Amino acid sequence: MSTSGHVVALCGGVGGAKLAFGLTRVLEPKNLTLVVNTGDDFEHLGLHISPDVDTLAYTLAGLADRERGWGLAGETWHFMGALARLGGESWFNLGDRDLAMHVERTRRLAAGRTLSQVTAGLTAALGIRHPIIPMSDHPVRTIVQTDGGELEFQRYFVAEQCRPVATGVRFEGADRAWISPALASALVWKKISAVVLCPSNPHLSVGPILAIPGLREGLLALDVPIVAVSPIVGGRALKGPAAKLMAELGLPPGLAGVAKVYEGLISGLVVDVTDEAEAAPLAAAGLPVRALRAVMITDEDRTRLALETLDFARELAARPARAKP
Ligand code: FO1
């Protein structure tokens, strides 16, 4: 184990799940709280779909399709074929085995359990020992504002393939949401030594988590290193629309945009080794930067990056005064 104390990691999407997997390899379940974005959740075909929760769960359980990043390996799609034949909504792909997750989650929620409780039960059934904490038990829905009007996240991401030009992002329900009880309890009772922002989309995956009232302030009040791992390598998002969205929202391209989104929050930024030169102005401006091999192909890549990120956080904690970006 590379760090003492408890680590809180915020994540969403495929890139975030990869680093989260690495963190579970180097931290005991009692020393890690994985907080996952639920802004992508939606009701579809009468089912409650929690894509980022499931991506994380399947990744940690070793069940994820490594090519797609989401859904289950070895999946079949008979249900989708049959649905399309009937003229049903077939723009969002629910695999035959994956369906069980959505049906069972929906049943348990309808029976009155919270999303946290349901997630704990379902992930335990998959053999996952590390706690996966939905950011909130209250519904928060990411809405992408585009030049053609507002789109619910999955309509923007899957149906429209992120093609519309984004003019803004808002998180419906966030102002009325509370952080989930397990996260609140971790923030109060655990001896937290570091916060890691996984290489997830800063606006669409980490943004909704930070929009829950009190969370950002709660993290800052811990007064421990908050380290972000950049999802942008070589000016492009490793996966998904992060770079396109940042450009459309008027942010500087590349790492400068990531640093801008997290301004006032992070105390260190992990960048890919190939981006060390691009990160030099950020370092010169006072943001501690660590260049690491941030592209995660194998499980070993994930574990190594997790270890080195925690080492960076530990070094930041040991510095006399934390530099502010
Ligand atoms: N992503 C797609 O690009 N197309 C899909 O049809 C799709 C279906 C899907 C079903 C279940 C699930 O858990 C995830 C799914 N995803 C799909 C991924 C999902 O849209 C994204 O991973 C996230 O919401 C972005 O982080």
pLDDT at 84: 98
Q: Which atom of ligand 1 is nearest to the CA of 37?
A: 26
pLDDT at 240: 79
Q: How many CB atoms lie within 10 A of CB 155?
A: 17
Helix (H) or strand (E) holding 209: helix 207-210
Average pLDDT of the residues in 27-51: 98
Whole-number Å distance between alpha carbons of 206 and 212: 11
**In the predicted structure, residue 1 carries a pLDDT above the cut 60:** no
Atom of ligand 1 nearest to the CA of 93: 6
pLDDT for 43 beyond 50? yes
- Whole-structure pTM value: 0.95
Q: What average pLDDT does this structure show over 21-30?
A: 98
List, in sequence order, every residue forming a beta bridge with 232; answer none if it has no partner: 237
In this predicted structure, the answer to whether residue 231 has a pLDDT above a threshold of 80 is yes
94 lines ligand 1 (CB under 6 A): yes
Q: Is pLDDT larger for residue 292 or for residue 236?
A: 292
pLDDT at 236: 81
pLDDT of 155 > 50? The answer is yes
What interhelical angle do 13-26 and 299-318 show, nearest 10?
A: 70
Per-residue DSSP letter, 147: T
- How many angstroms is it from 303 CA to the middle of ligand 1? 24
Confidence at residue 17, expressed as pLDDT on a 0 to 100 scale: 98
Owner of token pair 């035959």? 96
Per-residue model confidence as pLDDT tens digits over 177-222: 999 999 999 999 999 999 999 999 999 999 999 999 999 999 999 9
Sequence-distant (6+) residues with CB within 8 A of 186 are 6, 8, 33, 133, 192
Closest CA to 295 of 22, 7, 11: 22
Cα gap 200→202, rounded to integer Å: 6
Q: Are the C-beta atoms of residues 20 and 34 closer than 8 Å to each other?
A: yes
**Could you state, in order of their start, the residue ranges of all structural domains in the chain?**
6-318
- Residue 141 CA to ligand 1 center (angstroms) comes to 15
Q: What pLDDT, on a 0 to 100 scale, did the predictor assign at position 253? A: 83
Summarize the confidence of residues 77-89 as an average pLDDT: 98
Name the helix (H) or strand (E) containing 142. strand 141-146
Reply yes or no on whether the pLDDT at 238 is more than 90: no
Does the domain formed by 6-318 have CATH 3.40.50.10680? yes
The secondary element (H helix, E strand) that includes residue 259 is helix 255-261
Average pLDDT over every residue of 108-114? 98
Q: What's the mean per-residue pLDDT of the chain?
A: 95
- Residues 250-268: tens digit of each pLDDT: 998 899 999 999 999 999 9
Spacing, Cα 288 to ligand 1 middle (Å)? 34
Judged against a pLDDT cut of 90, whether residue 73 lies above it is answered with yes
Distance CA 208, CA 36 (A): 10
What pLDDT is attached to residue 8? 98
Nearest CA to ligand 1 atom 14: 51
Atom of ligand 1 nearest to the CA of 69: 22
The three-point CA angle 22-27-32 to 5° equals: 95
